[in-house]
């Protein structure tokens, strides 16, 4: 898959997340998808995203930087949201915060097989 096609597939995945179209999520993930080195499968990945959406009702994934080098994608996602309670061990409790997540993906056959994610917790702390 060339970079432009992989970029298109990735942006469709982000659109799926923002629509909270959990049924369509399986079209973007391998059965044995891993997150930060842990095999969690599609159901575990879906559960993780659904939990995040419950805890952050206004969660929206904003692609700020996208680099494609098939079969990999590197992305900086921006967030401007209001988590309802504790977030990353921090007492956010409905306060509006802004932060970024740096994520790397490995694709196999047009589906995400591995995800490595780091959230910039240090950017949140001074906002509280």
Q: Where are the domains of the chain?
A: 3-127
What does the pLDDT look like over 83-127, one tens digit per residue?
Answer: 999 999 999 999 999 999 999 999 999 999 999 999 999 999 999
Nearest to 97 by CA among 63, 116, 122, 74: 122
Q: Compute the distance between CA of residue 14 and CA of residue 19 in angstroms, rounded to an integer.
A: 9
Task: Kindly state the helix (H) or strand (E) to which residue 53 belongs, with its residue range.
Answer: helix 41-55
Is domain 3-127 classified as CATH 2.60.40.1180?
A: no
Give the pLDDT confidence score for residue 2 in this predicted structure: 77
What does the pLDDT look like over 35-66, one tens digit per residue?
Answer: 999 999 999 999 999 999 999 999 999 999 99
Give every CB contact of residue 126 below 8 A, 6+ residues apart in sequence: none
Q: Count of CB atoms within 10 A of residue 100's CB? A: 16
What does the pLDDT look like over 11-32, one tens digit per residue?
Answer: 999 999 999 999 999 999 999 9
**Taking 80 as the threshold, does the pLDDT of residue 1 lie above it?**
no
Cα 97 to Cα 48, 54, 65, distances in angstroms: 20, 16, 20
């Amino acid at each position: 898959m060339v970079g432009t096609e992989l970029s298109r597939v990735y942006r469709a995945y982000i659109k799926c997340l923002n629509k909270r179209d959990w049924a369509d999520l399986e079209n973007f993930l391998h059965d044995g998808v891993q997150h930060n080195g842990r095999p969690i499968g599609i159901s575990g990945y879906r559960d993780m995203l659904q939990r995040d959406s419950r805890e952050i009702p206004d969660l929206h994934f904003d692609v700020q930087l996208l680099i494609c080098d098939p079969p990999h994608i590197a992305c900086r996602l921006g967030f401007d949201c209001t988590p309802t309670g504790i977030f990353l061990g921090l007492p956010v409790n409905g306060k509006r915060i802004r932060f970024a997540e740096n994520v790397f993906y490995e694709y196999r056959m047009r589906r995400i097989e591995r995800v490595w994610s780091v959230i910039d917790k240090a950017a949140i702390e001074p906002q509280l």
